[in-house]
A and B are shown apart, each in its own frame.
Chain A
Amino acid sequence: EVQLVESGGGLVQPGGSLRLSCAASGFTFSDHFMDWVRQAPGKGLDWVGRIRKKANSYTTEYAASVKGRFTISRDDSKNSLFLQMNSLKTEDTAVYHCARWGDGNIYLYWGQGTLVTVSS
């Protein structure tokens, strides 16, 4: 069974940093592109960014709203995905989901998400 389990969320002050993790199981993690998608409370889905697999040189893509502040990385040996968030703003408050990108340009699997609250 495919599982994606996020952790690392919490309350942080504006300007602060936080590192989220996503533990993957039930599939060959290293074979897949992985994304972060967030959802502000009561709002819709907002794509954060992507990291490709080793065969694609682990290249990344980011939404304009987070570029330069957020960094996506992965550790295939530990089946883990990470999101380093710096210079956090109140508008970054959201549930952050990791999601597996699949053939057909679709999100096949999602984690339950971890809540990040940016507030003073």
Chain B
Amino acid sequence: DIVMTQTPLSSPVTLGQPASISCRSSQSLVHSDGNTYLSWLQQRPGQPPRLLIYKISNRFSGVPDRFSGSGAGTDFTLKISRVEAEDAGVYYCMQGIQYPITFGQGTRLEIK
């Protein structure tokens, strides 16, 4: 199985300040079709997960441009340029290249 490791697991951030979450996979997420199937999801309290970013850096429809993704191979980063109150929640990276589909442990973003 591909193990997804996120750091940090908890991140207190002041409103208006940037935030960054790292995700490392135990194997390359580059598919034979040339795409890298790494996505980021956000889960607000009491809500199901919501897709933010797919294929490393593509923002899903309706996702604010303060969210950005980067990385390659096995190392990936989600950045929020200026954190807003509504960004509080848990963030997960996810790989979609191999069964079983696996997720990072989650990073809890706490807004100060």
- Cβ of B96: which chain A residues have Cβ within 8 Å of it? 104-106
* B97 interface hit (Cβ, 8 Å): yes
Q: For the complex, count residues of B whose C-beta is within 8 A of A.
A: 27
Q: Is the CB of A105 within 8 A of B37?
A: yes
Interface membership of chain B positions 60-100, coded 1 if the CB is closer than 8 angstroms to chain A and 0 otherwise: 10000000000000000000000000000010101011011
Tell me which of A37, A44, A64 contacts B104 (CB under 8 A). A44
Q: Is the CB of B99 within 8 A of A111?
A: no
* A45 interface hit (Cβ, 8 Å): yes
Q: Is the CB of B106 within 8 A of A104?
A: no
Q: How far is the CA of A102 from the CA of B37 in the complex (A)?
A: 12
Q: Is the CB of A104 within 8 A of B99?
A: no
Tell me which of B31, B48, B101 contacts A110 (CB under 8 A). B48
